[in-house]
Amino acid sequence: MAKNRFNHAWLHDHINDPYVKMAQREGYRARAAYKLKEIDEQDRLIKPGQVIVDLGSTPGSWSQYARNKLAAGKRVDGGIDGTIIALDILPMEPIADVHFLQGDFREDSVLEQLEEIVAGRKVDLVVSDMAPNLSGVASADAARIEHLCDLALDFAQRHLKPEGALLVKCFHGSGYSQIVEKFKYQFKTVAPRKPKASRDKSSETFILGRGLKKPA
């Protein structure tokens, strides 16, 4: 009975959520688009001509936002000024001008496809809205979240330009300070971000790292 009450409450909140309504109106696949939009408007992450990688991209709202931003220059051919590569283990419906690779980005075959698309260029921006399936067991969940952040950090270390940026989702709680420390070890500037589109009751937060430190 309690579970049903929770489901009804979540559904009620979801249906009446202004960001859900805005996403439906503006054609975004998820309200998460507005989290990236707020952070981008604050930090000016997405610029014409960039190579952007979206890790854990499905259903694709972050790639949609990045695509719209790179299309804002109104190229004559109707394309975008830049390159967006989206990766996810899950399938994703196509998005115009976005290269989608389905698979695990730790696998050589997926990385080879990525390297073919970037054609020797380094990446300007890596974004990750990846989240694990949470079990409710704090220690286990903290380990899963940290593992995903480690994967994104490792990917950024290998593919980012020296002045590039990495934005990842994580959660306040056990393990959060360790993740921040790992960012500080790898990036010159590190800042937490909690956009208004991120629900108040959620412990979700984002960490932004900019400017790779040279490996020791």
Please answer whether residues 168 and 149 qualify as being in contact, where contact means their C-beta atoms are separated by less than 8 angstroms. Answer: yes
Cβ count within 10 A of residue 10: 10
Binding residue per annotation — 88? yes
Residue indicated by tokens 């709202």? 61
Please answer whether residues 52 and 87 qualify as being in contact, where contact means their C-beta atoms are separated by less than 8 angstroms. Answer: no
Cβ count within 10 A of residue 8: 10
Nearest-5° Cα angle at 65, 60 to 70:
125
Binding residue per annotation — 129? yes
Question: Residue 125 and residue 104: Cα distance in Å, rounded?
Answer: 19
Give the relative orientation of helices 33-43 and 18-26 as an angle to the nearest 10 degrees. 90
Binding residue per annotation — 10? no
Question: Residue 194 and residue 83: Cα distance in Å, rounded?
Answer: 27
Q: Annotated catalytic, 169?
A: yes
Tokens of residue 44, six digits: 């000016």
Q: Write down the H helix ranges in 83-203.
A: 108-118, 138-159, 176-186
Q: Name the catalytic one among 47, 169, 182, 194.
A: 169
DSSP 121: P
Binding residue per annotation — 40? no
Binding residue per annotation — 154? no
Which residues belong to the annotated binding site for S-adenosyl-L-methionine? Answer: 60, 62, 88, 104, 129
Which residues belong to the annotated binding site? Answer: 60, 62, 88, 104, 129
**Looking at the annotation, which residues are catalytic?**
169
